[in-house]
Structure 1
């Protein structure tokens, strides 16, 4: 069973949460992309994950430790393909060998960091330095991460390089002798590369050079002519010898790289295990940091299928309000199997409350801390949402048709333990039929194993037995005389936000939907005559 479909994730802004979890290494990013929820039956595994997260919180708070982690993680590259190539018998390039050597040093540094700071690890997160491979790639124990094919890898390579050095030395020595002779005989100094540029107006010198045995023409411009040392027969032989030695050196270096690649391939399990451990540590540090950023708490995971949130906050909405110097009103709610209905005026925060319950529940299932004072949760098998405009242009469905399609999908799952969230049930059709459908759906879901939370603007939908009626406090406690006095001195939207109480309260099942809509209309400046007529109509109803 799919835990959350794409529509539900989008409705709950779940991707926003994932985007806020910062990972640094390619392995941490990989594990973040593969994050899966803990579902019903995986309570112990989720508790263990949350405990790990709790253990890492102090180290995230320690700026020095966090900086040390970032410094190491920032240099880690994705070497999975290189290790796989070595495993399959390919010969790695010097760049790949350098990167693996550097990775081994980073593993050692990470292991030291964790041991020095007594940072706990679990079996699937252990960092294990691969000392033999590290020594193989750093045979002279330089401790420098740069890679070089050392002479000690091969006696033949050592001999070839020695011969190369001697041959190069002979070439330079003979060229030096020729340079000195040219300087003595022609009174000119050659450049370090053995060339000289002679102006064309220096005809006497050019005539001397024309038949000179140790210089040869290279190129010319409209002003100068360039010459270089003419190789002697011995220099030509030495240069040919040098080319052969370079070819031998390359072939011998290839053998060394082949040997090193095989050794890396043999240790693929250790390398992959360290990559996995780094990814898990990186992800848990990212989750811990986000938990601190939202002042989150560890949810209490229980066997009973319940959701209890104490002063929960919607992180995305809270961040948005903070930019406007406004505060999010925390929401407290207790839900169990069956149906709970939220009633209240538009702008009263019903939809946000619905999203908050879904988002915090999803976060807990994914092993994250929760932006709340406390949360108790029994795991579900799924979360299903019908929130927002469900019009489907692809299927030619109206808003009502799209909504009913999603509600039907939720109803089909309702015999399993899950969370169903429905916003403004049957809002896309006429009021009489919408009320009838809403009440019928509530009646059907109230005895199912799913926890269903819905919002409605219909009276009496929540007056069935076993249905919990939650009401937005709204403007019910507002002194409207005081409010009217402030209406001319304050932005009307800000005024509503300041006076609106978004908290939920449990009310008796026969309590009507509150009439905050009239008060909101009054604040927003709707004509007084219209408002008076509306109040009369309500009294007559």
Structure 2
């Protein structure tokens, strides 16, 4: 799957940062989320169903109060997992008992709120219930106070020692005090006896609580899953999206009207709008052609993001999504390259590409995304490399490859071919009028005229010639463009 750098590049880290989990358990689950392995497709589908049910509940006015109560309770939970685990190994301290007692009291409130959520009983692998027997161990008096001290009722000996300490303390507060040294020695002795008795009682309490530690840990896991799923559902409701269909033996990737929230937000801040992208991939190679500023890279990253989200149990930012349960996602694009110890960018790209070829041999299904593959060499050799890649992936069973390129005679080798719409639908007069300003204004206006959507074309259709149109639109030197026109005429 994609590494952390690649996840950040496609906008996955941005999604995680924008999740609003309420508890430390849900936050940790979100921070360490991973794609479900193929053998856990059923679990993935159950998680997606949980998100769907919670999104449906969020949209219901009748459930608003119960959800708000559950979220308030989640926010008040502290992480007690270390103390719970320690109860099986050593005697807990007063502070640890306080943390556990507070957690169990807050758990009561969460369990009550959870029981009132309409879809609560239908959520898969989520059972949030109170632990009354465990609570009675750490709060034997049933006062439910947010403090902890070994109670006098825990043993007659402890109660007797504390009464004696109170008597001695009262005598020491009198002034003057006769026999102060003897009283202070007695107080020291009583304090030691009290500490010893409290330790004995805490050891017994620890042993008693440890019997419920496994159940407590299971409830905490359920809390984490609930919090995480609820955050994903809220994200889906606030940003729009849908629940993907992820099939164990899927035969196609279908993503309609997909967006990339990170890119969309960046465009929105500059007064522009993200163009939703729709695409279908079948086993083998699919090629996207278009001008270098035509949005091919955005399409690749948007597809990578939404596929990864689906495999991690997230809603996707699409109108509709269907895909196989991929064993691996592999991405090779320009902004993730480095010199690899002095190698050229092309050399580094080839090393990574070879690594991808090795990895997909062990994967039953794989998604391979190559953005402007082999652009770092001359066009003749670059086109040959891309054609070879297209043919190679055509013959790899279970491999879905998406390759973007501006080289000619590549798409003809692929079963499916898409082009970026670009300036195709912009009338020349409209383009000239919009770009009539100075250099700075032309640079800002042109992207607004570009249509970054995709449309399917025949495999033998050559890449669009937007590059020259862009040069003319940007008012590149007339003298230079006459040279370009002369060269174009020769071809």
Match of 1:462 in 2: 411
- Report the secondary structure of 1:124's partner residue: coil
CA offsets, 1:517-541, max 9 Å, x none? 1122223231123223313322321
CA offsets, 1:93-128, max 9 Å, x none? 111111110111111111100112334255632123
Taking a change above 3 Å as real, the CA distance of residues 426 and 392 of structure 1, as seen in their structure-2 partners, is same
Asked if residue 495 in structure 1 is aligned to residue 445 in structure 2, the reply is: yes
Match of 2:104 in 1: 104
Are the equivalent residues in 2 in contact too, given 1:11–1:385 (CA < 8 A)? no
Asked if residue 117 in structure 1 is aligned to residue 117 in structure 2, the reply is: yes
Q: How many residues align?
A: 481
- Report the secondary structure of 1:318's partner residue: helix
129-138 vs 322-331, which moves further: 129-138
1:346-495 to 2 correspondence within 5 Å? 346-389=292-335, 391-414=337-360, 416-449=364-397, 450-464=399-413, 466-489=414-437, 491-495=441-445
Distance 2:404 2:165 in 1: 84
- Report the secondary structure of 2:194's partner residue: helix
TM-superposed CA distance for 1:31, in Å, is 2.4
Match of 2:222 in 1: 277
Match of 1:523 in 2: 473
TM-superposed CA distance for 1:160, in Å, is 1.7
TM-superposed CA distance for 1:363, in Å, is 0.8
Distance 1:354 1:52 in 2: 29
Are the equivalent residues in 2 in contact too, given 1:351–1:423 (CA < 8 A)? yes
Are the equivalent residues in 2 in contact too, given 1:342–1:469 (CA < 8 A)? yes
TM-superposed CA distance for 1:8, in Å, is 4.1
Distance 1:417 1:168 in 2: 76
78-87 vs 336-345, which moves further: 78-87
Asked if residue 509 in structure 1 is aligned to residue 459 in structure 2, the reply is: yes
Taking a change above 3 Å as real, the CA distance of residues 368 and 443 of structure 1, as seen in their structure-2 partners, is same
130-139 vs 95-104, which moves further: 130-139
Match of 2:46 in 1: 48
TM-score (norm 2): 0.91
Match of 2:197 in 1: 252
Distance 1:311 1:301 in 2: 17
CA offsets, 1:342-392, max 9 Å, x none? 111111101101111111111111111111111111221111111115654
Consecutive unaligned residues of structure 1, counting only runs of 5 or more, are 176-228
1:18-57 to 2 correspondence within 5 Å? 18-57=16-55
300-309 vs 97-106, which moves further: 300-309
Are the equivalent residues in 2 in contact too, given 1:391–1:401 (CA < 8 A)? no
CA offsets, 1:254-275, max 9 Å, x none? 2222221111222211121122
Distance 1:470 1:400 in 2: 25
CA offsets, 1:128-179, max 9 Å, x none? 322122122222221222112211101111122222333334444xx3xxxx
469-478 vs 413-422, which moves further: 413-422
Match of 1:204 in 2: none
Match of 1:328 in 2: 274
TM-score (norm 1): 0.83
Are the equivalent residues in 2 in contact too, given 1:53–1:287 (CA < 8 A)? yes
Structure number with larger C-alpha Rg:
1
CA offsets, 1:485-537, max 9 Å, x none? 23235822332122111111111222221111112222323112322331332
TM-superposed CA distance for 1:304, in Å, is 2.4
Are the equivalent residues in 1 in contact too, given 2:256–2:319 (CA < 8 A)? yes
Are the equivalent residues in 1 in contact too, given 2:277–2:453 (CA < 8 A)? yes
TM-superposed CA distance for 1:430, in Å, is 1.1
Are the equivalent residues in 1 in contact too, given 2:435–2:474 (CA < 8 A)? no
Are the equivalent residues in 2 in contact too, given 1:391–1:398 (CA < 8 A)? no
Distance 1:381 1:143 in 2: 49
CA offsets, 1:239-263, max 9 Å, x none? 4433332332222222222221111
Match of 1:318 in 2: 264
Distance 1:403 1:305 in 2: 29
1:3-82 to 2 correspondence within 5 Å? 3-6=1-4, 8-61=6-59, 64-82=65-83
TM-superposed CA distance for 1:321, in Å, is 1.1
Distance 1:516 1:309 in 2: 26
Are the equivalent residues in 2 in contact too, given 1:27–1:276 (CA < 8 A)? yes
Taking a change above 3 Å as real, the CA distance of residues 534 and 98 of structure 1, as seen in their structure-2 partners, is same
TM-superposed CA distance for 1:36, in Å, is 2.6
- Report the secondary structure of 2:412's partner residue: coil
- Report the secondary structure of 1:36's partner residue: coil
- Report the secondary structure of 2:118's partner residue: coil
Distance 1:158 1:354 in 2: 72
363-372 vs 6-15, which moves further: 6-15
